[in-house]
Amino acid sequence: MQDSDGSLRRGGVRRLPAVIAAGVLAIATMMLAPRPAEAADPPWLTVSADRFAAFSVPAAYIQANLGEVSQVHIEGDFGPSAAWVEYGLTRRGDLWSGVLGPLEPGLYHYQVTADDTKTLKDPTNGAGVASRPLLSTFLVPGDSARLLADAPDGRRGTVEPLAYRTGKEQRTALVWTPPGYSARGGRPYPVLYLRSGPDRAATDWLDLGRAGQILDNLSAGNAVEPMVVVIADGRDGDPGLADLRKAAGDAYRVHRDREHQAVAGVAEGGSQALRAVLTGPGEFAYAGSFSGRPAQIPDLGPAAGHGLKLLRLYTGNVTDPAYNATVELTRALDRAHVRYEFDGVDPRGGGNWAAWRRNLIDFLPRLFRKVAGHGPSAGHGPLRGRFEPPAPGTTPTPAVTKDGFVTFETTTAFTGARHVTVWANIAPGGSWLRVPMARTGDRWRVTVGPLEPWFYYYQWIVDRVGTKDTANPTKVTSEPAWSWFLLPGKRARLLSDVPAGRGGKVESLTYQSTVAGAERTALVWTPPGYDPGRAEKYPVLYLQHGSGQNYTDWTEMGRARQILDHQYLDGDLVPMVVVMGNGNSTDFTRELLENIVPAARARYNISGDPGGQALAGLSMGGAQALGVLKAHPGRFAYVAAFSAGFGAGTGVDAAAVNDGTKMLRMYVGDVTDFAYPWFAAGLATMDELGVRYEFDGITPGPHGWDVWQKNLIDLAPRLFRR
């Protein structure tokens, strides 16, 4: 049978959903004059039906065109609030590859960059950006992006160039006319003049703004008045706009009166639209500012806004450079009693094309007609005053606002650096993205968000070298370049500290390892009220770390102490002892059975009965747990593996495993977890052997702590209840 999410069930156990990787982009030639890709070359980017973007960049192509490199990443608008970020690829054989997602439906743009400065276009992607030839675009389909898709044949408008002069300069605009438009006779059409900023081209409204598709789809759905839309760049001011209006009026059947003319734009283009209606002679009845940020608020005299039927303002969240300018503008408009509408603060917007497309979709249906709603879009919030990050040198590390915006700032140690990013688990599902930081005086800083409440960890990448934020006192013993912070909230409650004095204890357990020939340490969590003299021995969970980690990681990164404390206080946990040992061993099975277990039993009042013992681990630790299960079935009645494969089935006594195991529970991240293929193969092996196990579907996220924390949260309450 098949669940609604597409995953298959058999015998009450969920199986891995099929991942359909469909190539979505056409073959194109390089724009940086390197060797063109052959027509038969596979696409570098494929997007699956469940919205994962998989990048596979041939190493030979990179070397041939950029030389020897140490790092390759995809730069794109994949970050929070559609921020421009870097997604690092991993060299695997002949490819630099990686999987990112799931991405929200929408349009994305990206380029391929090596060693921070060497950039080229994806030669297998024919969807590009005319003004920035290194960029490629791709559309992730979905209901929320339906207006960005191509309209059906026969229901599309026409886009054509319009030449005009401003002073002595020849310019070209783009003109969209609706389906059925004819230059011959009939009533004239109202007209919208749509502006870009001086650092953006008119073609960006088509390539990045999807204005053609938005207009086509809204027109096909009768959601807008039939109109002509003239798209121009924002290099000129009001004189250039006057010349453009005259040229459009001469070439197209459009109204010339104020009541049937509108102006809008993005960034500086939005500022120009504001100036045109607040200081001009009132030649437009409709105006929209999408992240407009005038350097100076226009002088709002008695005639400001005269004749306006609609002035609608748009801004993104505090990461939008126009946010503070919008605060000041609305105050000035209020003082001058100029009527306007405010779409509210877009919580997902950051002053970029992802937000401006939504602005255009909201704005167009309001033109040249009466509408019922004049308030903010659904989910948009009020302006709450100016956003002022802490002054340089005073920032807590990092500075976190209650609504999830995080300001990172370096010390003054990197004044000579050329490229600094913050690398953190802020991508969808907890994958890692690098956010470029900007130099502020003798420091580097950036504000990112909004982030969901959760546990985050990060490091600086300074000229391609990982570096710790030394101003942050948090530490990760096994990986000293990392720092961490907790963004509080309901979603992160189980990862937060419980009130002082109410949680369990974490103690060090020192033991002699006969395998390592040295003294070693484990950490042990005991529940609140632990009684070493209790008649009934406590059940025990042996919880193992992964490769490159150590016994400290489950408390420093996995938040095991906080998770167990909360679950115990919530009444969800059978009182137990949790032993987090050192799994870095040449023979883990011996290390566990001959050293860790005897040492724990000698010091703590814990069970030695199989029914009172559990064994679990992540990645390498998960493989070790499964190795113990196969070699010694029945020694631990509860076994779990996080992001690990079962391995070969040779010599496995399935009957003994089934008879001696009360619960074998398997966990894995999504396709961004590199253990996913091994895990899937392991499930197939267990199915063939007839080993009984539980698998309740993938845990969204990569091969990282975001997944493993959730795995422990799910596992711990299930132990010792059967």
Whole-Å CA distances, 437 to 471, 482, 632: 16, 17, 52
Return the sign of the alpha-carbon dihedral for residues 456, 462, 468, 471: negative
Could you give phi then psi for residue 82, rounded to 5 degrees?
Answer: 60, 35
- At residue 605's C-alpha, the angle toward residues 600 and 610, to 5°, is 75
**Tens of pLDDT along 17-42?**
333 222 222 222 222 334 444 545 89
What is d(CA 332, CA 296) in angstroms, rounded to the nearest whole number? 11
Give me the CATH topology for the region 15-141: Immunoglobulin-like (2.60.40)
Closest CA to 504 of 476, 478, 530: 530
pLDDT for position 9: 30
pLDDT for position 590: 97
> What single-letter DSSP state applies at residue 305?
T
Q: Is the pLDDT of residue 95 over 80?
A: yes
Q: Is the pLDDT of residue 56 over 80?
A: yes
Q: Is the pLDDT of residue 657 over 60?
A: yes
What is d(CA 629, CA 623) in angstroms, rounded to the nearest whole number? 10
Confidence of residue 322 (pLDDT cuts 50, 70, 90): very high
E strand map for 336-376: 341-346
Closest CA to 348 of 137, 138, 105: 105
Residue range 498-718, CATH number: 3.40.50.1820
pLDDT for position 214: 98
Closest CA to 173 of 114, 227, 232, 128: 232
What pTM value is reported for the model?
0.90
**By the 8 A CB rule, do 464 and 71 touch?**
yes
How large is the angle between the packed helices 560-569 and 705-715, nearest 10 degrees? Answer: 30
**Tens of pLDDT along 547-570?**
999 999 999 999 999 999 999 999
Return the sign of the alpha-carbon dihedral for residues 265, 271, 274, 280: negative
Confidence of residue 722 (pLDDT cuts 50, 70, 90): confident
What three-state secondary structure class fits 46?
strand
pLDDT for position 40: 54
Give me the CATH topology for the region 147-366: Rossmann fold (3.40.50)
Residues 6+ apart with CB under 8 A from 359: 266, 288, 290, 291, 314, 343, 346
Q: Is the pLDDT of residue 239 over 60?
A: no
Q: Is the pLDDT of residue 300 over 80?
A: no
**Tens of pLDDT along 345-384?**
999 999 999 999 999 999 999 999 999 999 999 999 999 8
**Tens of pLDDT along 465-524?**
999 999 999 999 999 999 999 999 999 999 999 999 999 999 999 999 999 999 999 999
Residues 6+ apart with CB under 8 A from 596: 511, 522, 542, 579, 581, 582
The pair of structure tokens assigned to 108 is 């994305």
Confidence of residue 4 (pLDDT cuts 50, 70, 90): very low
User: How large is the average pLDDT for residues 398-414?
Assistant: 95
pLDDT for position 32: 31
User: How large is the average pLDDT for residues 622-638?
Assistant: 98
Closest CA to 640 of 515, 544, 534, 504: 544
Q: Is the pLDDT of residue 244 over 60?
A: yes
Q: Is the pLDDT of residue 127 over 70?
A: yes
Q: Is the pLDDT of residue 11 over 50?
A: no
User: How large is the average pLDDT for residues 629-636?
Assistant: 98
DSSP 133-196: TT-EEEEE--GGGGGGSPPPTTS--EEEEEEEEETTEEEEEEEEE-TT--SSSSPPBPEEEEE-
**Tens of pLDDT along 139-164?**
999 999 999 999 999 999 999 999 99
User: How large is the average pLDDT for residues 378-391?
Assistant: 92
Domain 399-427+438-488 top-level CATH class: mainly beta
User: How large is the average pLDDT for residues 687-700?
Assistant: 96
Q: Is the pLDDT of residue 306 over 60?
A: yes
* Residue range(s) of every CATH 3.40.50.1820 domain in the chain: 147-366, 498-718
Confidence of residue 199 (pLDDT cuts 50, 70, 90): confident
Across all residues in the chain, what is the average pLDDT? 91
What is d(CA 457, CA 480) in angstroms, rounded to the nearest whole number? 12
Q: Is the pLDDT of residue 229 over 90?
A: yes
pLDDT for position 597: 98
pLDDT for position 293: 84
Instruction: Look up tokens 């390089």; give the residue.
Output: 30
* Residue range(s) of every CATH 2.60.40.10 domain in the chain: 15-141, 399-427+438-488
Comparing 184 with 679, the larger pLDDT belongs to 679
pLDDT for position 237: 58
Comparing 234 with 405, the larger pLDDT belongs to 405
